[in-house]
Amino acid sequence: MMRRLSFMWGLVCLGLLAMAAPYAQARVSFADAVKSAGPSVVNIYAARLEDAPREEPMKPGVGWAEPMKQKVARSLGSGVIVAPSGKLVTTLHVVQGADAVKVVLSDGREFSATLTAKDEKLDLAVMQLDLAAGVTLPVARFADSDALEVGDLVLAVGNPYGFGQSISLGVVSAVARSRIALNPYAQFIQTDAPLNPGSSGGALVDSTGAVVGINTAVFSKNGEAAGLGFAIPSKVVAQVVKDLTTLGRVQRPWLGLEGQGLSADVARELGLPDSDGLLLTGVVKGSPAAKAGLQVGDVLRTLGGQVVRDAAALNEQILLTPGLLDKPVSVAFWRGGRLNTGSLMLSALPPRRTNEQKLIKGYNPLTGYTLEPLGPALASELGLPLTTVGAVVVDAPTKQPLAAFQKQFVVGDVVQLVNGQPTHDAGQAQRALDTSRRAWELRFLRDGVLRTISLQ
C-alpha cells in the first residue's frame, strides 16, 4: 500500500513539473526595476550627542548641578540621490539634530553628508554628499505621481532595521490620502508595501523603477509593518526640493484661513449638494482670506477654478501651482446655502515678530524668560492654529534665577493669561506679572494642551 502511494505521489510531482515547464520562460520579475532604482537609494546612519545623567552619587559641596555625561544617539533611514552633484532627499526626522551623518550607497561606497535645507512641514530634508573630484553617482529617475492609480504595483526601496538595502512589494492602496492624522500639508500615497524602521526617506518606485514617492510614515500599533504605509508624492517632493535648492525655503503663499473637510452628514445639514469644500473654522484678521471677505462658517468650494476637498488638498494646490503669489485668484464659497464668487490676492506669510521679543524682569515666575508675540509665522513653526494668540517662550534660563520658584516653563509654551489678563505680547505679560508680588495664576498652551498653574 505504501509503495502504491509513493508511486502515485511521484506521478503527481512529475505532472506538476510538466505543467510548470511552459511557464519557466515567463516568470514575473521586477529585477529590472530594482536595477534601475536601487543604485540611487542610499542607507543613512545619523548620530547625535545627547546629555545623560551620570550613574554616580553627587559629591558633597558640588551644589545643585547634576553630573552629566554625553551619549551617542543613533538613527537609521534611507535617502534618494536626486542630482549628480551629490544632492539627496530624505525625511527630516532621520537627520534632524544630527552631529554626523554617514551615507552608504548600494555598491558599498561611503560618504559623509551635510544638511543643507529642510522643510519641517513636510518632514523633508535636502542633504549634500561630501564628494571628491571626479566621483560619479547614480541619480534617481522621477515619474509623475499623478499618473498613479489604485491597484498599481509599487516597490519600497530602503534600509529597514539597518540590514542594508531591501525591496518590498505592494500595491497602491489609495492616492490623495489626506484625511488622516499624519500631516496637513500634503496628500499622501498609501501602499501596503511593508515599511519598517529605517525605511523612512527611501523610494517608492513604480514597476519601471521610476520614483513616485518618498516613504515617510507607517500606521502601526506596535511599530511593525501593518500594511499601511504612506509616501509623499514625487510631484510634491520635486517642488519642495526645487524651492529649497533655489530659495533656501519652501515658498507657500499664505491664505490666512483654517478649516476642515466636510463629511456627508455635515454637507447635508448645510444644504450643500456634495461634501466637496473646506468648512472655515478660522480666518486671520488682515489676511488675504479676510480681505476677500471670507468668514468663519463659509465653505470654500474652489480656488483658482479647482475644487477644494480638504486642508491638505488646498495646501498642496497652492504649493504646486506656479504664479499664484501676489496675483488675484478666483474663489467660490458657500454661505447661507448660496454659492458666492470673488477673488483674493495670495501673499507671502508675514515674518516673525522677532523685533518684539522681550526679556521678562522683576520678581515673578517668568523672570529670565524671553517672550515673543505669537503671529502666523511662529504659529506655523510651532504647528499651532494660525488664529492662536499669546506670548511664546522663545528662550528660557538654564535655571530659574529666583529661588522662590521652580523652573516651570519651556521653549514653545504659549502664555495666554496671567492673573486673568490676556497676554498677546511680552509687554502685556510683564504688566500682568507686575500686578502682584505674592500669587500668580498662569494659563498657557504646551503641546496643544491648555494648562493652568498657580504659584505663590
Q: Tell me the residue ranges of DSSP E strands in 153-298.
A: 153-158, 166-177, 188-191, 203-205, 211-218, 229-233, 253-254, 257-261, 278-283
User: Of 145, 166, 178, 200, which one is the catalytic site residue?
Assistant: 200
Q: Which of 123, 243, 298, 310 is catalytic?
A: 123
CA–CA gap between residue 285 and residue 22 (Å, rounded): 72
DSSP state of 287: S
DSSP 419-444: TTEE-SSHHHHHHHHTT-SS-EEEEE
Instruction: Out of 40, 75, 93, 199, pick the active-site residue.
Output: 93
Q: Which residue has the cell 463629511?
A: 263
424 is catalytic: no
Q: Is 276 marked active-site?
A: no
Q: How many helices (H) and strands (E) does the chain have?
A: 9, 27
What one-letter code names the amino acid at 295?
A: Q
Q: What is d(CA 48, CA 288) in angstroms, rounded to the nearest whole number?
A: 42
* Integer Cα distance of 292 and 265 in angstroms: 28
Whether the CB-CB separation of 280 and 262 falls below 8 Å is answered with: no
Name the packing angle between helices 234-246 and 311-320 (round to 10°): 50
CB 362, CB 432: distance < 8 Å: no
Enzyme catalytic residues: 93, 123, 200
